[in-house]
Structures are given as C-alpha cells and as structure tokens.
Amino acid sequence: MNISPFLSVDHSCDEAWQWTKKLLLQAGLRPIQTFDLHTALVGLQDCPCPNHGKNECDCQMVVVLVYGSASEPATLILHGNDGQTWLSIVNNSLQHTDASIRSAIERALQLNPSE
C-alpha cells in the first residue's frame, strides 16, 4: 500500500493523536479511532520491533476514520517512532477519499502542534 504522509510533527504518536483529535473536532469533523498498535500488541510477549528490537520501542500506529460532510469517511493514519509522527490519508484505487474531506483534514491540521 502506497501511503504518503502529508504532515510530520516532532511529537510522539500518542501526543500527535491527542492534538489531531482536538483540531479535527474543532473543525467540525468526527474522528473515530479504529486501531491502536499498542493495544493490538498487549497480549504478545517477545515480539521484537523491526526498528528497536525488544527494548525501548516507542513505535506506534493509530488508524482513525474521519467523518465529515462526505458520504464516506476518510482513513487517517498516524505512524510514529523516536519522537516523530507522520500523518497520512489513505487515497488509492482500493479506497478513494473524497477531496472535500481530505482538504478539510489538511486545513484543520496545518497549525503548529505546540499550539
């Protein structure tokens, strides 16, 4: 799957998700978290990270459905590690994202995450 980030922030994925959720709600969009990598891995022991091995892994991925005025939600992916998070909107031949909701998400998140 080819997903290109449209935004990168110098914060952990969990911090970036809280910031993202706040801004999307303020913009009148409805974000619903559907996946959290940390939660998915809770029951797994000895699962090495491809980037960090078994120690001090801060890799995280959060998948969010963002609802707006379009008939279908947009899928927003936050992927982070080492204090950096990249945000991507899925838009490909398998899942087309309406341009209006894509623009609304991008506009809502074009602020500085430290604000």
Domain limits of the chain? Answer: 9-39+58-108
Regarding predicted confidence, which is higher, 50 or 101? 101
Global pTM value: 0.85
Give residue 41's pLDDT: 72
The answer to whether residue 25 scores a pLDDT higher than 90 is yes
pLDDT tens-digit profile of 54-66? Answer: 666 778 999 999 9
Phi, psi (rounded to 5 degrees) for 76 = -110, 130
Separation CA 7–CA 38 (nearest Å): 22
CA distance readout (Å), 60 to 31, 38, 70, 71, 85: 18, 7, 28, 29, 9
First to last CA, the chain: 32
Separation CA 89–CA 67 (nearest Å): 13
Give residue 59's pLDDT: 83
- Considering only CA atoms, give the Rg of the chain: 15
Give residue 45's pLDDT: 66
